[in-house]
Amino acid sequence: MILITGGAGYIGAHVNKLLNNSGYETIVLDNLSKGHKSAVKWGDFVNADLSDSEKVREIFQDNDIEAVMHFAAFSSVAESVEEPEKYFKNNYENTLNLLKIMKEFRVRKFIFSSTAALYGIPKSIPINEDSELKPINPYGESKLMVENLLKDESDFGGLKYVSLRYFNAAGADLDCEIGEGHDPESHLIPLVLDAALGRRDSISIFGDDYSTPDGTCIRDYIHVNDLADAHLKALQYLEEPFNDSNIFNLGNGNGFSVKEVVDTCKKVTGIDFDVKIEERRPGDPDILIADSKKAEEILGWKPQVTELEDIVESAWNWHKKIHV
Ligand code: UDP
């Protein structure tokens, strides 16, 4: 049995689907603060908060957990800048708690949702796993604290972990059974699609004076199914007894500016909408593009949905299904 914390959330739900389709049994733990019960269509479900040690212990007592995939976390850069303490508590303290309970039950395999936000403002592009770790926002800082903890638990405490540093997760399940939806929404593609559907008056571009060709931030958008596939491969990697703990970037290796994303959304939807240029959002680096060669070489992972248009189209199909 695989425990998936945050399995009612965007990425966790896609991983839950893939694991079940690949013959694994899963149990999802989620407090539904951000996730959706309707996204848990596979495996068992427990509504619990990771700070509730008794309830978490019960899950380990009642189930034969062989590995934990840990998605439960807050993930908005903007919110983390406004309420840092919330991020350290939920993202760091709750992970500490989970690892402590795993240790009590001798569960040693752990897959962690990490992030490109660890790299802060990178010195060179594309970014590989050895690049300097210098987050510029509390979200990235809280994830770095977990990675440091994982390293020590692995070096000295018997834990075997894989940390997956996602670049910008995007798109939706190609069967349209699950997709992205935050409340309130803060991520670029669903916000732009909201504008296309008339659910908002316009889309705001946060800053057009960055050091990029069109002045807007460049990000590496990676399809959520490709992220899910990396988790499956990471689990298989940890199942090999001689493999060590490891860290992998997950991105396409292609960068797209915010303006390019907006234009692609207009093209895919065939709908025009207002675009406003606003102030920079605090905590945003100019360019983040992944070097994911290590995941390709060691995990045998290769992204399948690599065209931005295809990524946006899958997101659009889901968006229409939910909101029209
Ligand atoms: N962004 C924007 N307008 C929005 C939301 C996001 O211009 O309404 C920009 C944001 O500043 C960043 C990029 O889009 O440069 C991706 O942001 P998102 O929040 O989707 O992901 P993040 O990079 O924070 O993980």
Q: How far apart are CA 251 and CA 170, in angstroms?
A: 11
Q: Atom 24 (ligand 1): residue with closest C-alpha?
A: 77
Sign of torsion, CA 277 279 280 283? negative
| Residue 100 exposure: Cα atoms within 13 Å on the Cβ side | 12
Q: Which CATH architecture has domain 2-170+223-250?
A: 3-Layer(aba) Sandwich (3.40)
Q: Is the peptide bond before 184 cis (omega within 30 degrees of 0)?
A: yes
Specify the pLDDT at position 283.
80
- The verdict on whether omega for the bond into residue 241 sits within 30 degrees of 0, i.e. cis, is no
Q: Domain-by-domain residue ranges, the chain?
A: 2-170+223-250, 188-219+253-323
| Residue 209, phi-psi category: left (phi > 0), alpha (psi -120 to 50), beta (remainder) | alpha
Positions annotated as catalytic residues are: 139
Residue closest to 31 by CA, chosen among 99, 109, 98, 79: 98
What is the DSSP code string of 178-232? S----SS--SHHHHHHHHHTTSSSEEEEE-S-SSSTTSS-EE-EEEHHHHHHHHH
Instruction: For residue 187, report the distance from its CA to the centre of ligand 1, in Å.
Output: 6
Asked if residues 175 and 21 have their Cβ atoms less than 8 Å apart, the reply is no
**pLDDT average per 10 residues of sequence, the chain (324 residues):** 98 98 98 96 98 98 98 93 96 98 98 97 96 96 98 97 98 96 90 97 98 98 98 98 97 96 98 98 91 98 96 97 92
State the residue for tokens 């593009």: 289
pLDDT at 228: 98
Q: How far is the CA of 42 from the centre of ligand 1 (A)?
A: 30
Q: How far is the CA of 115 from the centre of ligand 1 (A)?
A: 14
- Ligand 1 pocket test target in 118, 143, 165, 258 with most atoms within 8 Å of CB: 258
Assess whether the C-beta atom of 284 lies below 6 angstroms from ligand 1: yes
Output the pLDDT for position 181: 86
Ligand 1 near 204 CB (within 6 A): yes
Domain 188-219+253-323 class, CATH top level = alpha beta
- pTM > 0.95: yes
d(CA 128, CA 272): 37
Angle at 226 between CA 219 and CA 109, to 5 degrees: 110
Taking CA atoms only, the protein residue closest to ligand 1 atom 12 is 217
Q: Give the per-residue pLDDT at 249.
A: 98
Residue nearest (by alpha carbon) to ligand 1 atom 18: 187
Tokens 């995990």 belong to 299
Least Cα distance to 292 among 319, 253, 265, 255 occurs for: 253
Backbone angles phi, psi at 22, to 5 degrees: -100, 10
Question: What pLDDT, on the 0 to 100 scale, is given for residue 78?
Answer: 86
Q: How many Cβ atoms are within 10 Å of 41's Cβ, its own excluded? A: 13
